[in-house]
Chain A
Amino acid sequence: MSLFDHKLTEIQSMIEKKEVSIPDLVDESFKRIAAVDGEVKAFITLDEERARKQAEDAQATGKTGVLSGIPIGVKDNIVTKGLRTTAASQILFNFDPIYDATVVNKLREAGTITVGKLNMDEFAMGSSTENSSFQKTRNPWNLNHVPGGSSGGSAASVAAGEVPFSLGSDTGGSIRQPASFCGVVGMKPTYGRVSRFGLIAFASSLDQIGPITRNVEDNAHLLEAIVGADPQDSTSANVPAENFAAGLTGDVKGLRIAVPKEYLGEGVSEEVRQSVLDALKVLEGLGATWEEVSLPHSKYGVATYYLLASSEASSNLARFDGIRYGYRAEGAENLIDLYKKTRAEGFGDEVKRRIMLGTFALSSGYYDAYYKKAQQVRTLIKKDFEDVLESYDVIIGPTTPTPAFKIGEIIDDPLTMYANDILTIPVNLAGVPGISVPCGFAENGLPLGLQIIGRHFDEKTVYRVAHAYEQATDFHKEKPEL
């Protein structure tokens, strides 16, 4: 039994009763990392000395809130002052941020202790964490399989019990898909809920930071701590923070659930389909009703996403040029040559592929046919969600079409890799919130995830449904053997 098998409120009550101290919690984290991270490879950088000192200080000053003294892992595309932040890219191999992301500031105020930075696909581009420039993270449930991506380190570290929770980022499924693959809870909030200041930008109209945890209640606590408008991010929405955990009543009587037929159709494996139907039965048993609906433009999501996200990325990643920070190539003859060599040597293949695609889609003569067309289809996809959510409280389906695939299995086939995000991408395009919660295991023992999607800024309902389902099932109590 690990300390992190307890939920946050239980840990806090143990601290209060002096059964456990904050240094004990941080120690538990580093002990577990020492024991299993050689195999799981979730962390890129650890911050042990500082974390242990913060734990001593926090213990001395006394705790104040539900997150006080809790160790956390942070995805390595979220900048942390004085703690190397690489976005898992060679081009930022030595980058030492000079300020903290807004979410990091908020967490510090809430009292969490950052133990280290988590592995990911380079610049969050990927669905398996195999695109990291530094290491391949492995799925704690089966080390031959991927943890998902791009927040693979964030999901694997929580599943492996190295930290009770972590932060990830989600542009097309990068929180929900690895949460599903690793059997943990991952929330992508409404676009604009959480400040993106200090998140190394991939696709600015889609990126959102969100929490990954072992259970829904902890997830709600963590989200509450990081939401809110931020003067440093003009796309953060002026919507007040909510006590999401207070809404976890367990009551879903009369809840209207929409189940898109496109989410249980072609390409979705039979065991995934069955796990979702079983979950719907559980929710029916609790008094909810469900009906089949259609999100007719779902099948265009992947193409729309790759055009838009790559276009935005080609612009956002222009800043990595070897001048102000990060890697700089040797032996360049002039400035243009320096840019070209630095970027060629500093970026990995998938990042280059997407920069090329995006540059092409935005280039003169192709802009209308590709970029603008994709923006128009985005309008149709967004409207699909709005229409359905007018008559239903939530949309439910699988998070991914299959359980975690094997390391190396599809890394050489970009289109097959992209198709893995077919059920999560439309949610980012529409900007609505979505969560993945454990909903069973495949025949090969790997976890499956249920995706619950809500209206803009209605995370409260999404959490209520996720929590009611979780409390009625035991899947979240299972742990991988490591």
Chain B
Amino acid sequence: MTRISEEQVRHVAHLARLAITDEEVHTFTEQLDAIITFAEQLNELDTSNVKPTSHVLDMKNVLRKDESAPGLDQEEVLKNAPDQQDGQIRVPSIIE
């Protein structure tokens, strides 16, 4: 039984904002299916009473004082933008 279909791979690629060719759909379906099948070995373990670990250190709610500090310089920030105009980053139109 396959764990993941070509249709699912296309959907996931859309969620991940990746353009994908038909050939890639085919390859990724095979490879992701193999990886997910491999990962299903975790089902051998009963984890019904196990708390999930998202982070290994015992720390939560790290706070700092709410003080203003200088941010990044606008000219510096814009330096890496592929397209810009009048101190702003330019993108294709969003509204049809």
Binding site for B on A (CB under 8 A): 94-96, 98-99, 191-192, 205, 231, 234-235, 237, 297, 299-300, 302-304, 306-307, 314, 318, 321-328, 332-341, 343-344, 347, 352-353, 355-357, 359-360, 363, 370, 372-380, 382, 414-415, 429-431, 456
CB distance from B59 to the nearest CB of A (A): 7
A336 CA / B55 CA spacing, docked (Å):
33
A205 to B18, CA, bound (A): 24
Further 20 A-B residue pairs, CB within 8 A, beyond A318-B17, A373-B43, A376-B53: A98-B73, A98-B76, A99-B72, A191-B56, A192-B57, A302-B38, A303-B42, A304-B42, A314-B16, A323-B91, A325-B82, A328-B82, A338-B92, A355-B18, A356-B13, A356-B16, A360-B8, A360-B32, A376-B50, A379-B53
- Tell me if B47 counts as interface (CB < 8 A to partner A): yes
Tell me which of A192, A235, A306, A359 has the highest count of chain B C-beta atoms within 10 A of its own C-beta.
Answer: A359
Within 8 Å by CB of B52, from A231, A327, A334, A376, lies A376
> Cβ of A356 and Cβ of B18 under 8 Å apart?
yes
In the complex where A324-B89, A360-B32, A415-B38 touch, is A98 in contact with B77 (Cβ < 8 A)?
A: yes
Chain A residues within an 8 Å CB radius of B36: 357, 360, 370
Contact assessment for B12 and A359 in the assembled complex, using a CB-CB cutoff below 8 Å: yes
List chain B residues, Cβ under 8 A from A359: 12, 15-16
How many whole Å from A37's CB to the nearest CB in chain B? 27
Residues of B within 8 A of A321 (CB): 17
Q: How far is the CA of A237 from the CA of B43 in the complex (A)?
A: 33
- Also in contact, A303 and B53, with CB within 8 A (given A98-B72, A352-B18, A414-B31): no
- Is the beta-carbon distance between B34 and A356 smaller than 8 angstroms? no
**Across the interface, do B93 and A334 meet the contact criterion of CB distance under 8 Å?**
yes
**Minimum CB distance partner of B16 in chain A:** A359
Contacting residues, chain B, for A430 (C-beta < 8 A): 56
* Bound-complex Cα distance A333 to B92 (A): 7
Q: Chain A residues near B89 (CB, 8 Å)?
A: 323-324
- How many positions in chain B have a CB within 8 Å of any CB in the partner chain? 50
| Sampled A-B contacts (5; CB under 8 Å) | A94-B80, A191-B57, A192-B57, A304-B42, A415-B34
Answer yes or no: B86 CB below 8 A from chain A CBs: no
Label chain B's interface by main secondary structure: loop
CB distance from B86 to the nearest CB of A (A): 16
Q: Is B39 on the interface with A (CB-CB < 8 A)?
A: yes
Check if A380 sits within 8 Å of B16, measured CB to CB: no
Q: How far is the CB of B15 from chain A (nearest CB, A)?
A: 5
In the complex, the answer to whether A325 meets B41 with C-beta atoms within 8 Å is no
Q: A300-B42, A303-B38 are known contacts. Are A380 and B93 too (CB-CB below 8 A)?
A: no
CA distance A134 to B76 in the complex (A): 26
Bound complex: CA of A429 vs CA of B55, how far in Å? Answer: 9
Establish whether residues A355 and B16, one from each chain, have CB atoms under 8 Å apart when the complex forms: yes
Instruction: Name the residue on B nearest A370 (C-beta).
Output: B39
Interface centre among A192, A303, A322, A356 (most CB of B within 10 A): A356
Q: Which residue of B lies closest to A307 (CB)?
A: B39
What mask results when residues 47 to 87 of chain B are scored 1 for a CB within 8 Å of chain A, else 0?
10011111111010010100000001100110111110000
> A328 is contacted by which of B15, B55, B83 (Cβ under 8 Å)?
B83
Known: A237-B57, A300-B45, A375-B52. A306 touches B82 (CB 8 A): no
Question: Taking each of B13, B19, B28, B32, which has the highest tally of chain A beta carbons within 10 Å of its own beta carbon?
Answer: B19
Q: A226 to B58: give the CA distance in the assembly, Å.
A: 22
- CA–CA, A363 to B15, complex, Å? 9
Instruction: Give the CA-CA distance A382 to B52 in the complex, in Å.
Output: 11
B59 adjacent to A306 (CB under 8 Å): no
CB pair B59 A323 closer than 8 Å: no
Determine how close the nearest CB of chain B comes to the CB of A470; give it in whole angstroms.
Answer: 28
Bound: A21/B77 CA distance, A: 38
Residues of A close to B16: CB separation below 8 A: 314, 343, 355-356, 359
B19 partner, pick from A299, A340, A355, beta carbons under 8 A: A340
Contact A344–B19 (Cβ < 8 Å): yes
**The residue from A341, A356, A415 contacting B9, defined by CB atoms under 8 A apart:** A356
Whether the Cβ atoms of A237 and B12 lie closer than 8 Å is no
Within 8 Å CB of B9, what residues of A?
A: 356
Distance between Cα atoms of A192 and B16 in the complex (Å): 29
Q: How far is the CB of A83 from chain B (nearest CB, A)?
A: 13
In the complex, whether B94 has a CB less than 8 A from a CB of chain A is yes
Closest to B73 in A: A98
Q: Whose C-beta in chain B lies nearest to the C-beta of A229? A: B62
Of the residues A357, A374, A377, contact of B35 by C-beta under 8 Å: A357
Q: Which of A192, A326, A339, A374 contacts B82 (CB 8 A)?
A: A326
Residues of B within 8 A of A325 (CB): 80-82
Residues of B contacting A332 in the complex (Cβ-Cβ under 8 angstroms): 92
Would A380 and B54 count as touching, CB distance under 8 A?
no
Pairs A-B, 9 closest by C-beta atoms: A431-B56, A375-B52, A325-B80, A328-B82, A344-B19, A376-B47, A234-B62, A340-B19, A339-B17
CB pair A96–B35 under 8 Å, yes or no, is no
Judging by beta carbons under 8 Å apart, are B64 and A231 in contact? yes
